[in-house]
Structure formats: C-alpha cells, structure tokens
Amino acid sequence: MKNKATVIGAGLAGAEAALQLAQRGIQVDLYEMRPEKTTGAHKTDKYAEFVCSNSMGSLDITNASGLLKKEMEILGGKLIKIALENSVPAGNALAIDREGFSEKVTELINNNPNINVIKKEITEIPADENIIIASGPLTSTPLADSIKEFTQSEHLHFFDAIAPIIEKESINFDKAFYASRYNKGEASYINCPMNKEEYEKFYNFLINAPRIELKEFEQDAKFFESCLPVEVLASRGVDTLRFGPMKPVGLVDDRTGEKNYAVVQLRQDNSAKTLYNIVGFQTNLKWGAQKELISLIPGLENANIMRYGVMHRNTFINSPRILNPTLQTRNRKDLFFAGQITGTEGYTESIASGLLAGINLARLIKQENLITLPAETMLGALMNYITNPEHDKFQPINSNWAIVKEIELPKQIRKNKKEKNTILANRSIETLEKFIKENS
Ligand SMILES: Cc1cc2nc3c(=O)[nH]c(=O)nc-3n(C[C@H](O)[C@H](O)[C@H](O)COP(=O)(O)OP(=O)(O)OC[C@H]3O[C@@H](n4cnc5c(N)ncnc54)[C@H](O)[C@@H]3O)c2cc1C
C-alpha cells in the first residue's frame, strides 16, 4: 500500500484529517475547489472556514459538545488546539476569531512538507488508493453525483428542513401522555395536548417568530409539500396545523379521557428511546425562537433540545448502510468519509470525525488495526450512532448524552443532570486515556 493519501475538501474535517495524516508521516494530496468554485456559503479562500456562527458550543465537559472537545484534545486534535488559541470571550462557550483561526490552519497546512494542496474541484471519487471524502454539506454537484453512484442513489440525501429533537427525560409526563392515534398499534408516540387558549398563544408566537435568513443560493429552495417548515404551513391559516401535524382526533389521554383542541406529537428517534423528534415541526426559525416556541407546548416547558431544526442544503450519506464506526466504507476499505457528509451535525462534530478518519487512514496505510472508539466516549457514541445499521430513517445528529453508553446510577443522581453528566464525562475521559494507552 502506498504511503500516500488523498483528502477531498479543506474544510473543518478535511483540514484536521490532512494534519493527522501528515503528522504520522503520510504524504497527503489535499484537494480544495475554492476559490475557483464556491459553495455559496464560504466567503474566503482559507481552509477550515466557519460558514455561519463563530461558536463551537460549550467547553464545559458536563455538556456533550464540551466533552467532545475534551476528547479531541486527548486524541491530539490539531484544530481544537488552534481554536483554543484563537478564542474570544464567550462565557463557558468556545467562540473563535474565525479569521485568525482559518489563517492559522491555512498557514499550518501550507507550510507542512507532507501536505500538497491542490486547488481543484474533484468531480468523481478517485480510483487511487487511500481517500478521505470531506467535501461537506455543500459538496459540489458532480462529486455528489459520483458519491450517489457509489452509495447507490437512495443513499445520498438532500433535504431542506429538519425538526428539533428532544431528550425524553426532560418531558413533563404530568401533561404529556403516550398514545397512538385511535389506539392503533403500540402507544409509542408522546403527545402534548393543548387547549384553545394554549394553541392560540402558540400559533401567534409561531407566525411572528424570527426566521433564519436564507443564503441567496437557498432562496429558491423547493420544499417537498409533505416536508414544509411548520411556520410556512402555519402561515396558510390559523387552523391549518390543527388539521395537519397537530390534529387532535383519535388521541385521548386515558388518564383524563378529555378531548383536546390540538396535540403536538413526538416520535421516537433512537433505539434507546431517549430521543424524540417533534412530528411535522421541521423549521427555519432562529434557535432562540425555537426554544421559546417549544416552551409554549404543554409538557415541553423545560425540554432539553438535543438538536435544533435547521434548513439548508445538506448532502449526507446514509452512514448506517455505508460506514463502519471507523469511518471506513464497508465496500471499499481504502475509502473513508469525514465531516458533516457522514450525518453528524455541527462544527465540533465535523472536526472530530476528521480527526478519527485521519488517524484511521494513517493506521490502514501502516497496516495497523483501525480504531473503534469506546461507546463510553462522546465521539465513540456518535460514530456508533451514525453507523448503526438499525437506523432505517437516518437523520443527522449532534453530540448528545442520550447516545452515550448507559450507566447504572441511583435515582437521585440520575435526576441531577449536572451530577450525572459529571460522572459520564469522567468515565469517558478515563476510558479514552486507557484506550489510547492500550492502542498506541
Ligand atoms: C449554511 C450553513 C450554516 C451552518 N451553520 C452552522 C453553525 O452555525 N454552527 C455549526 O456548528 N454548524 C453549522 N453548519 C454545519 C457544519 O458544521 C458546517 O457546515 C461545517 O463546516 C462542516 O464541516 P465539513 O468539514 O464537513 O465541511 P466544510 O467545512 O463545508 O468543508 C468542505 C470543503 O470541501 C470543499 N469542497 C466541496 N466540494 C468539493 C469538491 N468537489 N472538490 C474539492 N473541494 C470540495 C468545500 O469548498 C469546503 O471547503 C452549517 C452548515 C451550513 C451549510
């Protein structure tokens, strides 16, 4: 096997992967199509550009994203180090000076003797050995078509809007109840009932709530009629939702027997039954507005939102069918995917998967065993989640506690989120450090 690798895309994942390979003595050809061809969202010709906000989320290890950052530091992540060096004050969060950050990453890559940057669009998956595809959610169309062919068309997805995901533990079951419509099948939906007054308050907030401004290239986005953002549906009339995703018919709370004016339904989102998505609530509202809107739903007043609804073009592969938790494809052992295209969501997650793909491709080239990170770690859990073959309706996901390997704890600790997360975070760090010792 050649001591050489190709990385496609010098975004967050690709830049990290290339630096990891280079550090392990592998010669890397890093392809980046900007500035010749733009994605529509990137503004510069620098590598590892933050396309939207400059926040990478919490640094607190009792927060899922904070733990993921800690794990990247332990694993020797390059971009997390540069991010910390280029941080700006943001309380407990890691916000960065995006220009300083990208400039530093660009300099490090350009000056690395093992990395050869080629400014060129890749239009099909190269037949060469040892590839990491990290071309992101805005992968150019010719490459997307080639990936589609490799993954067999239905395994490459495009979508406009996704609904928020809620942690079940945070739902108030004094108000919410389990039922299926007309009691058909298992009562697997969680239902949040509303009276007329509650519905009107909710509706008025929804139609006036601020939306995220669309990028020019997304403004002509065509929605599937069955996948309209909830605010677009609501703007058609005050009762449209009550006859659509919020229809109350056939949903009765056995405890009260009462009929409801409207009902918000939540559908199970993971096999562990810890995450639920809000049915029909795909949205483009600003995240603050989503939080406020959800708090107006009886039962979700204090809901933990594990992933906000988002709307933008997103290209992601059906990882549960295509990838191993090492990020290696099942059908071609020298081909890896990394970054948002794998179905993880967010800057931190993209960098983290670039880190893992870089380490594993280097190990493959050196004929060492690939690493699958422990399920106790946030990154290991994320990789397990996105590559779990049991997911037949796969949607992208952020790091979150609900996917991490369960731990037996006394009830009073389980109820104290901070205490529970501290235990989980310390377990992850210990497990990861031990894992590294055993595998290096
Ligand atoms: C509009 C938008 C806003 C977002 N906002 C946020 C946010 O606020 N917070 C957050 O956490 N996440 C956000 N995300 C999600 C995600 O975290 C980022 O998109 C992140 O940059 C993904 O990292 P990546 O490395 O997978 O892809 P990218 O960082 O996009 O890198 C991919 C690189 O590949 C290049 N490329 C594409 N096709 C080719 C090709 N054929 N040949 C060569 N090069 C190619 C691109 O030019 C790009 O440089 C947003 C995504 C989008 C699309």
CATH code of 83's domain: 3.50.50.60
Task: Identify which of 56-70, 145-159, 386-400 has the greatest average pLDDT.
Answer: 56-70
Lowest-pLDDT range, 67-76, 252-261, 300-309? 252-261
Residues 26 and 140 in one domain: yes
Report pLDDT digits (tens) over 20-31. Answer: 999 999 999 999
Last residue of a domain, one of 307, 329, 361: 307
**Is 39 a pocket residue for ligand 1 (Cβ < 6 Å)?**
yes
Mean pLDDT value of segment 280-290: 91
Q: What is the pLDDT of residue 154?
A: 62
How many domains in the chain?
2
Would you place residue 226 in the very low, low, confident or very high pLDDT band (cuts 50, 70, 90)?
Answer: low
Q: Both 297 and 183 in a single domain?
A: yes
Q: How far apart are CA 36 and CA 334, in angstroms?
A: 28
- Model confidence at 224, pLDDT cuts 50, 70, 90, reads very low
**Atom of ligand 1 at shortest distance to CA of 349?**
17
Q: Ligand 1 in contact with 26 (CB < 6 A)?
A: no
Residues 282, 171 share a domain: yes
Helix (H, G, I), strand (E, B) or coil at 106: helix
**Mean pLDDT of the region 294-317:** 90
Among 249, 274, 307, residue at a domain's last position: 307
Q: Both 189 and 282 in a single domain?
A: yes
Helix (H) or strand (E) holding 421: helix 417-439
The length of the chain is: 440
Q: Position of tokens 């592969």? A: 317
Percentage of the residues of the chain whose pLDDT score is greater than 70: 94
Place of tokens 């009562």: 187
Phi, psi (rounded to 5 degrees) for 223: -90, 150
Residues 6+ apart with CB under 8 A from 345: 307, 310, 396, 397, 398
Residues 122 and 249 in one domain: no
- Please indicate, yes or no, whether residues 16 and 97 belong to a single structural domain of this protein: yes
Mean per-residue pLDDT, 158-184: 86
CA distances in angstroms from 370 to 73, 98, 324, 366, listed in the order given: 20, 33, 10, 10
pLDDT at 253: 87
Question: Which of 264, 283, 307 is the C-terminal boundary of a domain?
Answer: 307
More confident residue, 226 or 401: 401
Listed range (61-75, 144-158, 170-184, 350-364) with the worst mean pLDDT: 144-158
Is residue 81's pLDDT more than 70? yes
Averaged pLDDT score across all residues of the chain: 91
**Domain assignment of residue 414, given as a range:** 4-158+314-439
Compute the distance between CA of residue 295 and CA of residue 297 in angstroms, rounded to an integer. Answer: 5
Residue 37 pLDDT level (bands cut at 50, 70, 90): very high
CB 70 near ligand 1, within 6 Å:
no
Task: Give the DSSP H or E segment for 439.
Answer: helix 417-439
- For ligand 1, atom 49, the nearest C-alpha belongs to 11
Is residue 347 over pLDDT 50?
A: yes
Residues 11 and 150 in one domain: yes
- Best residue for ligand 1 mutational test, from 340, 342, 356 (most atoms within 8 Å of Cβ): 340
Within 13 Å, how many C-alpha atoms sit on residue 377's CB side? Answer: 24
- Asked if 265 and 190 sit in the same domain, the reply is yes
CB-based contacts of 411, cutoff 8 Å, min separation 6: none
DSSP string across 196-217: HHHHHHHHHHHHHS-BPPPPGG
Q: Are 309 and 285 in contact (CB under 8 A)?
A: yes
Can you give the CATH number for the domain in which 234 is found? Answer: 2.40.30
pTM for the predicted model, two decimal places: 0.80
Q: How far is CA 237 from CA 30, 119, 240, 251, in A?
A: 51, 50, 5, 23
Q: How far is the CA of 102 from the centre of ligand 1 (A)?
A: 13
| Residues 205 and 271 occupy one common structural domain | yes
Query: Which residue did the predictor score with more confidence, 271 or 287?
Result: 287
For the chain, how far is it from start to end, CA to CA, in angstroms? 21
**Atom nearest to 38 CA in ligand 1:** 47
pLDDT at 304 over 90: yes
Q: Is 328 in the pocket of ligand 1 (CB under 6 A)?
A: no
- Using a CB cutoff of 8 Å and minimum separation of 24, what contacts does 403-412 make? 403/270, 403/272, 403/274, 403/275, 404/64, 404/375, 404/376, 404/377, 404/378, 404/428, 405/374, 405/375, 405/376, 405/381, 406/272
Quick one: pLDDT at residue 216? 52
- Per-residue pLDDT tens over the stretch 357-397: 999 999 999 999 999 999 999 999 999 999 999 887 787 88
Pocket test for ligand 1, best of 7, 12, 399 (most atoms within 8 A of CB): 12
Are 192 and 244 in a shared domain?
yes
183 within ligand 1 shell (Cβ under 6 A): no
**How far, in Å, from the CA of 282 to the mean position of ligand 1?**
21
Residue that is written with structure tokens 């298992």 in the block: 186
For 327-358, give the DSSP string: SBBSS-TTEEE-SGGGTB-SHHHHHHHHHHHH
Atom of ligand 1 nearest to the CA of 354: 25
Neighbouring C-beta atoms of residue 52, cutoff 10 Å: 11
The pick from 102, 313, 350, 386 for probing ligand 1's pocket by mutation, whose C-beta has the most ligand atoms within 8 angstroms, reads 350
Closest to 319 in 3D by CA, of 310, 309, 308, 327:
327
User: At residue 215, does pLDDT exceed 80?
Assistant: no
Residues 25 and 85 grouped into a single domain: yes
Nearest atom, ligand 1, residue 47 CA: 49
Confidence band of 41 (pLDDT split at 50, 70, 90) = confident
Among 347, 386, 400, the mutation site with the greatest number of ligand 1 atoms within 8 A of its Cβ is: 347
Confidence of residue 417 (pLDDT cuts 50, 70, 90): confident
Ligand 1 close to Cβ of residue 309 (< 6 A):
no
Q: Which two tokens stand for residue 228?
A: 């309209």
Specify whether 108 is located in the same domain as 217: no
State mean pLDDT over 57-82: 97
Query: How far is ligand 1, taken at its centre, from the CA of residue 87, in Å?
Result: 20
Which pLDDT value is given to residue 257? 86
33 lines ligand 1 (CB under 6 A): yes
- The alpha carbon of 55 and the centre of ligand 1 are apart by a number of angstroms equal to 14
pLDDT, tens digit, 9 for 90 and up, residues 331-343:
999 999 999 999 9
